[in-house]
Chain A
Amino acid sequence: MTAAAARADGSAPELLDALAADRATGALTTRSGIFYLAAGHVVHVESAHSPALGDLLTRSGALAPAGWWEAVERAGARQRVGRQLVDSGRLTAGALELAHLGALFDAAYFALAHDGTALRFRPGVAHWLGAVRPVTVATVLRESYRRRALLDRIWPDAAVDTAPLARTPDADPAVLPPRRGRALALVDGGRTAAQIASALAHRTFHTLVELRRLAADGLVAPAPPAPAPPVHPVPGAGRADWDEPDTALLRRLLDALEAL
């Protein structure tokens, strides 16, 4: 494990394959997410475009927010938050596995989306959640491609996944079947798919399916970009959101602090 170690230029899928073959441990950052590997298996994936595991568990009512934060506090430093949740009886092993796998594959879809360029591999870095149920790199890649194909078959516009969404004038949530109506009701010109999924406490992919269907029916479209604020661009420091490796984490932290 030397070639890919410090600097990771290349496509994320290729690098993940190489890291899996080397049974590597560490964190691979892409433009839109982070893959955490342990002994060549994917143990966790994070992306700012999909709700974090803690949000899913607490917003769906499976876990009280205080219980989640207590587990993070007590076991975060030892990277055993998952175990702590189960051992303390707050969550069953099955419920944790399912929520975790849901969050993992949702985040992987986004982390591999866009151009899928890997930015950096940090050897030895582990996630504070700890291993819940590791999956192979091949499974994660296959599932992400399959999801992209499924979504593109419904409506081939990937902008729906990440852009703020707006309703078209003739869209009325009341006349739709309940599930789609609930998704449409949350489309307000500002929320993105991830924020809608988070508000519904649904897994992101389920929400993406509903939103692309709504887009295919002409009820929802990516919102026109807000007029740019009059800032004076600093040379070389423009739209470099994802070039900083831990922006995803910082953004999460900001969201969490704002939610308090």
Chain B
Amino acid sequence: MANTETALKECLSSIDGATAAALVDYTSGMALGTLGGGKDFNLEVAAAGNTDVVRSKLRTMELLGLKEEIEDILITLNSQYHLIRLLKGRGGNGLFLYLVLDSSRANLAMARHQMRRIENELEV
């Protein structure tokens, strides 16, 4: 029964090493909700930019004729992980959850598991 704000809060509080989270519409690149980030990490910009990542991967898959769906996308930086989880379900089509993790504190397997759970609670 979570709304988007509590879902994002839960991302930051329950996932170890999470520093910022956003819920993004990947057709328009608009962030429907953001939490965390700060002046050295603009989540709106990150949301718009990562939209291009998702879109180009989807297009590549279309061109390759792959029928599968993207579950998540992981980007590994020197000190951070960026995790993009595409939301499934009835109303979630076209949205992704974007999570920034501090790689020294994060447990990737746990983070992916938690994100799946939060997605289900959001029930989009």
Contacts and interface: CB of A to CB of B under 8 A. Distances in A.
Interface of A: 56-57, 60-62, 86, 92-95, 97-99, 101-102, 105, 133, 143, 146-147, 150, 177-179, 202-203, 205-206, 209
A97 B123 CA distance: 11
Contact of B90 (A86, A95, A101): A95
B35 interface: no
A146 B3 contact: no
B27 A205 contact: yes
Interface residues of B, number: 25
Given A94-B123, A95-B122, A62 B30 contact: no
Nearest to A139: B30
Interface stretch (B13-21, B73-81, B92-100): B92-100
B28 interface: yes
A69 to B, nearest CB: 18
Contacts of B27: 203, 205-206, 209
B62 to A, nearest CB: 4
B122 A102 contact: no
B2 A98 contact: no
B53 interface: no
A177 B4 contact: no
A98 B95 contact: yes
